[in-house]
A and B are shown apart, each in its own frame.
Chain A
Amino acid sequence: MQSHSKKRVCYYYDSDIGNYYYGQGHPMKPHRIRMTHNLLLNYGLYRKMEIYRPHKATADEMTKFHSDEYVRFLRSIRPDNMSEYNKQMQRFNVGEDCPVFDGLYEFCQLSAGGSVAAAVKLNKQASEICINWGGGLHHAKKSEASGFCYVNDIVLGILELLKYHQRVLYIDIDVHHGDGVEEAFYTTDRVMTVSFHKYGEYFPGTGDLRDIGAGKGKYYAVNIPLRDGMDDDAYESIFVPIISKVMETFQPAAVVLQCGADSLTGDRLGCFNLTVKGHGKCVEFVKKYNLPFLMVGGGGYTIRNVSRCWTYETSVALAVEIANELPYNDYFEYFGPDFKLHISPSNMTNQNTSEYLEKIKNRLFENLRMLPHAPGVQIQTIPEDAINDESDDEDKVDKDDRLPQSDKDKRIVPENEYSDSEDEGEGGRRDNRTYKGQRKRPRLDKDTNSNKASSETSSEIKDEKDKGDGADGEESTASNTNSTSNNNSNNKSDNDTGATANAGSGSGSGSGTGAKGAKENNI
């Protein structure tokens, strides 16, 4: 019945979603979802897909990822009882970027409900492509709101998909790093997160090339840090090879694509220079793999362009050509003065040189090569000779004897790293985050960053190098050394990171960071 390119498309929309309002001056406008919906109707795309009104996700569903406390908080907070929740608001990072607005919980329910329903739909193989423009809130953390996101519908959707799919690929083309999703799946090899984003003094501050996952999830987080002014050609030149390689090595059973439209040119918060066509090309490319495909929304703060973009991407999913001339609709005046679907890029300079992109690409390819290849083969295929003898000597050491200094040093956790010990207060851990004070929105008066006084400046330098392998403090000692060995094998080929890290923690113990941060909990 259906041709190859024509797919069964399910689209999730609740007519209420456009009426939530984050507050005066807030750039996030759920109204863009309704604008998209009206465009879809008037373009005649509406009648070509299955339209669903999603259920409201229950608290039970949300706690599949989020902490009970956090969900309970979201359910009970309202603008009129905010004052009673001051402490919790601070704890859950609700207030500034993520304000409390009327119907906040309902909004989260609808956005999450859509993505969960869509994932279940894909699980039941009742559809090939599911679209939820109300979803894509990729910054939300397990028990913390962030960057206009409260409930991470993507994580909930992926968790649903994981029930029937061995491996799920998550791709994020929002201009911001998809840190919430990456963090949620940082230590698993069943979900690979690939994020293309602006990096460098930009929200949320994560997404360094060197962040590659931890524990079992090592190499399953792929970050493509980009600079200002990415245009269509440059984007394609990095998106296509990386995704091809990822598909080849990871071989996912389902794909989730976050289509954040703030990577478009002229976005209120973004700084890329993509057109609707260039953005849509990513959708087109991913769609070609014929995998169960969940498309969600995300950022996008110049709402006329967001609705243009998502309308076009819906048409791409449906494989229907639509005219450049926008049809008349309730919000037609928003699209003036040209009233066209496609937008043209600005003349801003692309700071991503092809040389830079090439280097990033090669580095990521190297990382991807570390993945165990064919699906189903779960044995680590790391060559023998790559195993660092340094890590072996722990096994050789007599357990009753004192550990050699080199081994002790390895177990020193720098202060800025995670450790799950009880001796840390509630706030202590999070205070170490450099980006704690940063907001997604540029604020008018920049003072937050200067708030944090520190008596000892030396401890503030983050030794980023150590992060890569020391990060899995949660693991037992055995797996910790194991991952170190993996890392070192890798370092033979990429010649610096890990080696420095080891050397750094070994010899740098004299300097402030190492000695101060020593934690005994691993021993």
Chain B
Amino acid sequence: MATNMYRVGDYVYVEATTPNSPFLIRRIEELNKNQTGNVEAKVMCFYRRRDLPNPLVQLADKHQPALDEDRTSPTQTSGGAGSATGNSGSNSSGGANNNSSSTASGGAGGAGTGGDAEKGEALTSKQRYQIKQRELFLSRQVESIPATQIRGKCSVTLLNETESLQSYLNKDDTFFYCLVFDPNQKTLLADKGEIRVGSRYQCDIPAKLKDTATDERKLEELESLVWTPEHSLTDRKIDQFLVVSRSIGTFARALDCSSSVKQPSLHMSAAAASRDITLFHAMNILHKHEYSIEESMSSLVPSTGPVLCRDEIEDWSASEANLFEEALDKYGKDFNDIRQDFLPWKTLKQIIEYYYMWKTTDRYVQQKRVKAVEAELKLKQVYIPQYNNNGKGNGAAVKASGGIYNGTTNGSTDLSNNGKPCESCGATKSSQWNSVSSGHSTCRLCQSCWEYWRKYGSMKSATKGDGGDSEAKKKASAAATTPTATSAGVGAATTPTTVVDLNDDEKISDLTNRQLHRCSIVNCGKEFKLKTHLARHYAQAHGIAISSGSPRPIMKTRTAFYLHTNPMTRVARAICRSIVKPKKAARQSAYAINALLVKQEFTNRISGKSQAEIKKLLLLKPKDRGSVTKIANRLGAPGSGPHEWLILTPKDKMPLPLVVSFPKPPKAPDGSLMYDRVPNKSPDVVAVPADKELTIIPTQATSTIRKRAHEEQQLNGTEVTIVPSGPPAKRPNKDPMPSHCPSPEQFAAMMAASGQPLSRHHLNGKQKIAQMARGGNGRKQVISWMDAPDDVYFRANDTHKKTRKILSAVDLRRAARKPWRTLPIKTAAPEPSSRPIESQIVILD
């Protein structure tokens, strides 16, 4: 359980994007639930030695032997001379014998384990090789991965000099780092700040003075006493005095007329009088009057009336409070702006004090709820079940039992790898064989070595495979950096270098390919790491609410789509009528049309047909049903009299249906039927005077009047034309995109047209899960966001409106039916565009 529980801050192995490569090592920075409910992990990247570009590997080596060499220095001095020839031989291609590869080879060739005897900490070459696999390089790069990619825990620590490197080898899954790698700049830095020394950084130390009495400083100038425990009052007396001061405060509030409006009940007055400011004042009074209760008491009730202490939360009027909340919605916690634009008569300090007190009130709850939703998406920990790594994920893994390898299909293969031993440990039996590509050659590893390889990115000991590869890398780079190398050496070495460099570049580009969420608003374009941040930014800066990636719909509405039938589809419908059975399908929405069969049939039948034939198929023959006039005339023909079937059946003789699919809604007390509101009903009428009620919802929500009174007026006074035309007639969206933020009038008109109450929160960006509206019968209805208008809307500007006037009614209707058609606009409109419509579609989310 605990092993599969991953928390923020854990170091983890992560499946690499390329199959069959070692795990990546990452640290979890954040765990976020995304829209689909999957968990995404934000991770900090650590790099292995093998991930670094060549020159940096050398640098790292140079830095690392600083640790290694002092431990193995005896080895070097003793064995250095003896193995000198060996050293020079191995390094003949490059002069950089400063790195540990030479030390390693020197140690292996000459001294061997001799160093161990001299010093307990000296390392064998194998250990040194393994330690290199344990060294990581921190990068300050963060990337996002699905949590399902996590493959287990490990631990990465900053190497401390008191630790021996061997302690890392002794424990599995432990890594260390010293240096920080910057993949963009390709630099290595030590993860360390520095304490600077010099007169510019240190202070001048004063000499110790002999006598305390000589201090020239007067305490009175440095401080003023506010309270002292040295007095004759008992705790009880103080408590009593505090109660008295509170009662005086309550009484003072009763006398004060402005207070009595705000605090209509005695309880509220008493609560207000019990706030800390009254207590602090009482304590100050006590101190001022030298802890005489009597004097203090009388100072609380001077001749001017009882003392009234009010803090900011009490002092502010309701309208100021509203202004503050509004301002907070608009500007966030930028109190300077709030003061300037909303509350210039308050000081900044007052606003800040008020803000922190306001946070304790329930008015703050609303805000908190939004935060809570966001917090819910941020997980502290996540449970990831053990990953079963057999089969999927790495195509190279070959199950020996399955015997797929090399066609050995008889299920009872011995668990061997065709007789070849494991490249790393030489074992001949393993439950599973995995091929590993290192450099140019691939080799096969047994299960345990493979796991080791995946974790540490290298084999257990330096062998031909991986070790040779890294050696080759080093040699190549060494040759490239030393101009004195022989020409043959250069010729041989340059090609692999470039290849490797390319690889490195690939790694880098892969890493820099991180997704940022960019604000789509014109002229904004801010980038955010998190979608939730973007959503908040949208809400705060632009006043629009956008799904914050929650599976719960905060502002998620139905997705808008329309089906565009292309000619071929129509042909298919025509020629495969027998399979499609359109009439049946229309009646039974659950009837499944076998699309595959249709396709097959279609290809069969269409194959021989010519272009003309197909065109012909496309033409729909109108059915002759006679003209309507004729039918009407026939119906109204004299002499035939009223037909029997035209006489109404009396109500009581009506046959009762077996099942009432749509029972009558319940009756309200006043006898009217209570219908569920049809929320999306859009007005078909062309012109909608806003004050005329078309929908069930009466006059625009009264709640808006308080803050946005002017808009209300405009709403009632304007007549705006909303023409459902062009592409699928989209209603104005509730959350207009700010890129072309409608003016308040336009907005109000759209609201009126859509039959939605104009509610405050659209304007200030406050999010609500659902909104309340008062229906015609006075009952509250909750409109689900799922029923909210579609995500796409079209905003007509003057040009469009003019264009519409040019079009004939027939054209308009045709356009409404076939929105993909290009409109034939003949007159030279101010901004003639063949598709004025498409350009204005805005898709949210």
Contact = CB atoms under 8 A, between A and B. Distances in A.
Interface stretch (A197-205, A239-247, A404-412): A197-205
Given A454-B185, A500-B70, A211 B195 contact: yes
Interface stretch (B462-470, B527-535, B558-566, B710-718): B527-535
B414 interface: no
A27 interface: no
Interface stretch (B134-142, B592-600, B608-616, B687-695): B134-142
B179 to A, nearest CB: 7
A208 B162 CA distance: 11
B196 interface: yes
| Chain B interface size, under 10 / 10 to 19 / 20 to 34 / 35 or more | 35 or more
B352 A206 contact: no
Contacts of A221: 195
Interface string A332-348: 11100000000000001
B185 A330 contact: no
Interface in B351-381: 352-353, 356-357, 359-361
B191 interface: yes
A485 interface: no
Contacts of B160: 209, 225, 356, 359-360
B201 A209 contact: no
Interface stretch (B211-219, B750-758, B784-792): B211-219
Contacts of A187: 197, 202
Given A209-B160, A500-B66, A434 B191 contact: yes
Contact of B59 (A363, A457, A496): A457
B227 interface: yes
6 contacts: A41-B283, A55-B222, A103-B349, A205-B192, A420-B199, A450-B185
Closest 7 A-B residue pairs measured CB to CB?
A205-B193, A200-B158, A435-B193, A462-B190, A51-B227, A117-B222, A333-B360
Contacts of B193: 179, 204-206, 433-435, 438
B227 A50 contact: yes
Contacts of A435: 192-194
Contact of B158 (A51, A155, A227): A227
Interface of A: 12-13, 15-16, 18-21, 23-25, 31, 34, 38, 41-42, 44, 46-55, 64-65, 67, 79, 102-103, 113, 116-117, 120-121, 123-126, 141-143, 155, 159, 162-166, 179, 182-188, 190-191, 199-201, 204-206, 208-211, 214-215, 221, 225, 227-229, 271, 329-334, 348-349, 351, 355-356, 359-360, 362-363, 416, 418, 420, 429, 432-435, 438, 444-446, 449-450, 452-454, 457-458, 460-465, 467, 471-474, 496-497, 499-500, 503-504, 511
B202 A183 contact: yes
Interface stretch (B273-281, B421-429, B736-744): B273-281
A452 B212 contact: no
A54 B198 CA distance: 32
Residue of A449, A453, A499 ringed by the most chain B CB atoms within 10 A = A449
Interface stretch (B330-338, B668-676, B816-824): B330-338
Nearest to A454: B187
A453 B63 CA distance: 20
B77 to A, nearest CB: 11
A12 B194 contact: no
Nearest to A26: B333
Contact of A163 (B208, B219, B348, B349): B208
Interface of B: 7, 9-10, 55-56, 59, 62-63, 66, 69-71, 98, 138, 140-142, 155, 157-158, 160-163, 167, 179-180, 182, 184-203, 205-206, 208-209, 212, 215, 217, 219, 221-230, 235, 238, 275-277, 279-280, 283, 311, 332-336, 348-349, 352-353, 356-357, 359-361, 516, 527-529, 533
Nearest to A156: B203
A28 B200 CA distance: 28
Nearest to B228: A50
Nearest to B55: A457
A450 B162 CA distance: 31
A183 B225 contact: no
B197 A418 contact: yes
Nearest to B362: A333
A31 B356 contact: yes
Contacts of B71: 496
Contacts of A210: 161
A359 B162 contact: yes
A229 B201 CA distance: 32
A31 B349 CA distance: 11
A54 B223 contact: yes
A201 B180 contact: yes
B190 A464 contact: yes
A215 B197 contact: yes
A164 B528 CA distance: 54
Chain B at the A interface: SS class: mixed
B332 A434 contact: no
B348 to A, nearest CB: 5
B206 A163 contact: yes
Contacts of A15: 280
Nearest to A213: B195
A497 B311 CA distance: 60
A410 B551 CA distance: 66
A195 to B, nearest CB: 11
Dominant SS among interface residues on chain A: loop
B202 A54 contact: no
B194 A511 contact: no
A52 B223 contact: yes
A162 B208 contact: yes
Q: With a 10 A CB-CB cut-off, give which of B66, B138, B360 has the most chain A CB atoms.
A: B66
A158 B184 CA distance: 44
B155 A351 contact: yes
B215 A199 contact: no
Contact of A51 (B190, B226, B230, B361): B226
A446 B190 contact: no
A215 to B, nearest CB: 7
Contacts of A450: 140, 182, 184-185
Contacts of B277: 330
Nearest to B5: A347
A126 B162 contact: no
Given A18-B352, A450-B184, A503-B70, 12 more contacts: A41-B280, A54-B222, A120-B219, A163-B215, A205-B193, A214-B195, A420-B200, A435-B193, A449-B182, A457-B187, A461-B62, A463-B66
A435 B182 CA distance: 14
Given A47-B235, A53-B223, A102 B336 contact: yes
Nearest to A495: B70
Contacts of A12: 223
A159 B190 contact: no
The residue in A47, A67, A162 that gathers the most chain B C-beta atoms within 10 A of its C-beta is: A47
A418 B196 CA distance: 7
A283 B223 CA distance: 25
Contact of A47 (B138, B186, B229, B333): B229
A6 to B, nearest CB: 10
A200 B9 CA distance: 14
A183 B527 contact: no
B223 to A, nearest CB: 4
A461 B197 contact: no
B226 A183 contact: no
Residue among B202, B229, B235, B311 with the most chain A CB within 10 A?
A: B202
Given A453-B185, A462-B189, A124 B212 contact: yes
Contacts of A20: 352
Contacts of B162: 209, 356, 359-360, 362-363
B226 A351 contact: no
B135 to A, nearest CB: 14
Contact of B225 (A51, A103, A465): A51
A511 B62 contact: yes
Nearest to B365: A333
Contacts of A64: 203
B98 A511 contact: yes
A490 to B, nearest CB: 14
